Chains A and B, each alone.
Chain A
Amino acid sequence: DTEVTQTPKHLVMGMTNKKSLKCEQHMGHRAMYWYKQKAKKPPELMFVYSYEKLSINESVPSRFSPECPNSSLLNLHLHALQPEDSALYLCASRPRLAERSDTQYFGPGTRLTVL
């Protein structure tokens, strides 16, 4: 099973709100990723967690705060966002299984609108 789930599917928030995006998988992961994708563009990497520890932060503004509470869950906490942060946020996971460990499997994404 390579399924990755994300909630919510859609989120509308004001610039003063605090919200969180959630990503879950039950593959047992080697790494989990957050991407931001603007329309008609490829995904841009934001964060990488390897074995539940943050290994890469692609110079993402501090208004985005990732968290990996356990091996199945990845959160992205949002605070004081700007309208230009409106995008599709994708989560991906690389399973522990050796034959699949080089492949990232993506969740369906959260479409975020910041008003």
Chain B
Amino acid sequence: AQTVTQSQPEMSVQEAETVTLSCTYDTSESDYYLFWYKQPPSRQMILVIRQEAYKQQNATENRFSVNFQKAAKSFSLKISDSQLGDAAMYFCAYRGIIQGAQKLVFGQGTRLTINP
């Protein structure tokens, strides 16, 4: 069974600094997708970034980038130049095929605090 582990329940960073959120996963599939979602206090789940497992190049979206290590089954998120609006719960998610349907397996989340 696929599992996703986020080992940091909480993280904090100074505004304008860089922070890295960790995520590891377990799977026997060779082709899959990984995602980071952000959930601010408004509770809307917002897609931050996605990575296709067959691509060796790490995905980047503006200040957000990932370090995807397929062999190590690691998928960390780096946020550069942290802003107050980045404060949120961040969920790492793995897209698996279960019972013939695509399903997301979520980690437990990391709550990120930005200190002004």
Contact = CB atoms under 8 A, between A and B. Distances in A.
Interface of A: 31, 37, 40-43, 45, 48, 50, 55-56, 88, 90, 92, 94, 102-109, 111
B109 A103 contact: no
A89 B44 CA distance: 10
A107 B99 CA distance: 24
Interface residues of B, number: 25
The interface residues of chain B, by DSSP majority, are classed as: strand
Given A102-B95, A103-B33, A111 B43 contact: yes
11 contacts: A41-B109, A43-B104, A43-B106, A56-B99, A102-B33, A102-B50, A102-B95, A104-B104, A106-B46, A109-B45, A111-B43
A43 B98 CA distance: 17
Contacts of A41: 108-109
Contact of A109 (B43, B52, B98, B106): B43
Given A41-B109, A106-B37, A106-B44, 6 more contacts: A40-B109, A50-B101, A55-B100, A102-B50, A103-B33, A108-B44
